[in-house]
Chains A and B, each alone.
Chain A
Amino acid sequence: MQHKIHDAQKNSLGFWIYLMSDCMLFATLFAAFAVLRNNTFGDVSLGSLVNGGYVLTQTILLLFSSYTASVAVSNIVTGSLKKVIFWLSATMALGISFLVMEINEFTQLVHEGHGWQANAAMSSFFTLVGTHGLHIAVGLIWAGTLVWLANRRGLAKVENKLKLFSMYWHFLDVVWICIFTVVYLRGLMS
């Protein structure tokens, strides 16, 4: 048993370190965006393409999903498998709606001739936001696997995995807040 506790500490430290390195990945993409955001090569500016209300909805969905994820984790103590799975599923539903909205936004932009090939600013926009979206997609697969595992093996077996997932999900939330501020709000204001 000692061994397993040790494992949990090891895993969460390792995962923390991974998140820090992921921070650097996003920092690099943010830097690229900051350099290229005005390089539209004569096209319209990024700011004029942003729909404030739409992005705000996305933000609220994601923030709320972070809340449901933490409720799922706090329900581990109660030992109620049903509650954990319910809140985890809610998290997934919110995450999926976020992702659908993002894909919808992307398709529209491409349709209107503002795809990633249009100019350097659009390239950096799609890459930064898309990389976050890809992370969300990975998180959804992870959450789905956890629901399945919890059903089959019981709560105790997935407890640590669930905590790591929630760390990951909160991290993506923070990254999104940065994207919301740097990409969208700043775009709207200029």
Chain B
Amino acid sequence: MFGRLTVEAFKHDFVAMGGALTMVLVAFGIVAALTYYKKWGWLWREWLTTTDHKKIGKMYLYASIVMLLKGVADAGMLRAQQALASGAGNGYLSSEHFQQIFSAHGTTMIFFVAMGLMFALINFVLPLQIGARDVAFPFMNAVSFWLFVAGALLVNTSLVIGEFGAAGWLAYPPLSELAYSPGPGIDYWLWSIQIAGIGSLLSGINFTTTILKLRAKGMTMMKMPVFVWSVLGSMLLVIATFPILTATLLMLSLDRLAGMHFFTSAFGGDPMMYINLIWAWGHPEVYILILPAFGIFSEVVATFSRKRLFGYTSMVWAIGVITVLSFTVWLHHFFTMGAGGNVNAVFGIMTMIISVPTGVKVFNWLFTMYKGRISRMTPMLWFMGFLLSFTIGGVTGVLMAVPAIDFQVHNSLFLVAHFHNMVIGGVVFGYFCGLIYWFPKVFGYKLNEKLGRYAYWFWILGFFFAFAPLYVLGIMGATRRLDHYDASMGWQQLFIVAAGGVGLILVGVLLQVLQVVVSIVNRRKNLDKTGDAWGGRTLEWSIPSPAPIYNFAVLPVVKSRDDFWRMKEEGTTVKPKYEDILVPKNSGKSFVIGAAAFMFAFGLIWHMWWLACLTAVVAIVVLTVRLSDDETEYVITAKEVERIEKSRRPHAA
């Protein structure tokens, strides 16, 4: 009945028990609050069944923030252990628990924070920027989201029931094979990202179709905002590479569940094939995350410099070149693993080449700012922080692209510092920048500027204190993922500084939480009444904030790049002619599919085959019923549209 799930799975050591209890208490608290305030019906009608891209975006945001808090807590625990565990000191974590934490930290941050925030932003902004009323497939959008939640929930469930993987965030075999990791941990890892990954793949299809088919009349490809271009590049990469991830994870799970031998160390298996395949996905994944951040900066820099973006065409080309080249560099993740000098040289050179289009972008932003009327609001602060951090990270990245240098620093903390420079300094800063920028469009009021500044400074200072020592430690020979080191290495002071840096970042995060709370309380003072909070240039600022359910009462006809800027300059006001609008109906089926996916994975992880079979059938039946349904939309009449518009735009004529 319960497969290999026994009481043992609920027993944890002292520290792990803390994590488990937190999880249980949080879950219990949410259920209790919903019941006490009688909010279950509201939750179901307004959120769980929604197919509105704006609400789905909000849910992505909330889920990612929860996961971000967990990921930051993981990071704090790791660095605290390393600051303590020198010589005679053993720290407070067991080796096994430490390994689970660093595996969970990477998995959480990449799949459930970075990807989640990216999809939140794309959902918020993309349809509005192209003048569309929704994404191409609203129901599929909801399915993607619930698969994402199912994956995130699996990671959190592993805190309470059983354990998480202890083989790193990419779980290299043969360590991740049954012979060396017999427990359910690797299975939790496998299925959480398998399910979330399939959700991402569906999103990739959805947003690509949206961009190609739903653009407003007159918006040719070369009139699209750069953010839309960056999303297109990113989503094309999703379509091309997430199937590789799916297949690779499938092979590893078949090894573990069906006794196959793809990556085992015996019976002809080839662990090295896994390393190649996972990075054939993994390197493009970096660009999947960073491209939208580039797009965000392009919008923000243009808006806050009050100038049109410098070098639009070169920006578009740079995105295209990065999209293609990102497939040609994966081997730089394992120069030391025996490919030979010539192969290493080719991949080293390709890696250096890909930094060229990135450099083009940086110069484009700088030229955009040149002679602009720059306002130093928080989005611009994050951009400046990005420039500094990303340049350092870029330089250390090109350093490591030289195979001879890579041999010295491979798997050292130097590498860890490098990719955090890119992923925090590039991706996370970019998404924070975008969230502050589009916050008024999504929620209808601006975030508190002062607290935002404080948060920024704690983040950026903490960031350099946390990672500069790692570069030094890496050169001193400290490898990554150490839970203990000899006192004679002389590393402890630097590790303490790094832990202090994480502490500063933690303060930054708490300030951000405070910023949001204060902004909600004072929202009346910061309302965005015009819909154009910053003096924006693109179509999303032409509609009220927050956007009404149908986004555009009258679909725009685009004449130029930065079309809203043109409209403002020309100052044309035509009396709008309203029409009936078709809007997607709510559907609980996406939620059911997500829940079934969660139970399916849970069944496979614990070898409860009946549960896996049952939930698979449920998912297939629900999906078939949904796909056979033709009546998935309802009409908002022209009269109703007019009423909503009049109430939302009291200042308009």
Contacts and interface: CB of A to CB of B under 8 A. Distances in A.
Given A39-B268, A40-B268, A118-B267, 11 more contacts: A9-B213, A20-B239, A21-B205, A21-B243, A29-B247, A35-B273, A41-B267, A119-B268, A120-B260, A127-B260, A149-B628
A55 B491 CA distance: 64
B260 A123 contact: yes
A23 to B, nearest CB: 8
Interface string B248-290: 1011001100111110101111100100010000000000000
A24 B205 contact: no
B259 A117 contact: yes
Contacts of B628: 145, 149
B206 interface: yes
B203 to A, nearest CB: 12
Contacts of B110: none
Given A3-B582, A21-B205, A35-B273, A28 B247 contact: yes
A28 B136 contact: no
Contacts of B13: none
A89 interface: no
5 contacts: A17-B208, A21-B239, A120-B270, A149-B628, A161-B627
Interface residues of A, number: 39
A52 interface: no
B476 to A, nearest CB: 38
A177 interface: no
Interface string B367-408: 000000000000000000000000000000000000000000
A120 B244 contact: no
Q: Which 8 A-B pairs have the closest CB atoms?
A: A39-B268, A120-B268, A123-B260, A28-B247, A24-B243, A25-B243, A41-B268, A120-B261
Contacts of A29: 247
Contact of B239 (A9, A13, A17): A17
A40 B258 CA distance: 17
Main secondary structure of the interface of B (DSSP, over half): helix
Contact of B630 (A6, A120, A121, A157): A157
Interface in B619-650: 620, 624, 627-628, 630
Contacts of B251: 32, 127
Contact of B268 (A3, A17, A31, A121): A121
B262 A14 contact: no
B240 interface: yes
Contacts of A40: 268
Interface string B294-306: 0000000000000
Contacts of A153: 630
Interface centre among B255, B267, B270, B620 (most CB of A within 10 A): B267
Contacts of A161: 627
B209 interface: yes
B131 interface: no
Interface in A40-99: 40-41
A186 interface: no
Given A10-B136, A14-B136, A145-B628, A24 B241 contact: yes
A153 B254 CA distance: 41
Interface of A: 3, 6, 9-10, 13-14, 17-18, 20-25, 28-29, 31-32, 35-36, 39-41, 116-121, 123-124, 126-127, 141, 145, 149, 153, 157, 161
A119 B267 contact: yes
Given A10-B209, A40-B268, A25 B247 contact: yes
Contacts of B258: 116-117
B579 to A, nearest CB: 11
Contact of A17 (B209, B264, B267): B209
Contact of B270 (A10, A28, A39): A39
Given A119-B261, A120-B261, A21 B204 contact: yes
A179 to B, nearest CB: 15
Contact of A28 (B201, B248, B627): B248
Given A36-B268, A141-B624, A145-B624, A117 B261 contact: yes
A17 B205 CA distance: 6
B630 A22 contact: no
A116 B260 contact: yes
B242 interface: yes
Interface centre among A10, A28, A124 (most CB of B within 10 A): A28
B534 interface: no
A40 B266 CA distance: 11
Contacts of A13: 209, 212-213
B246 interface: yes
A41 B269 CA distance: 9
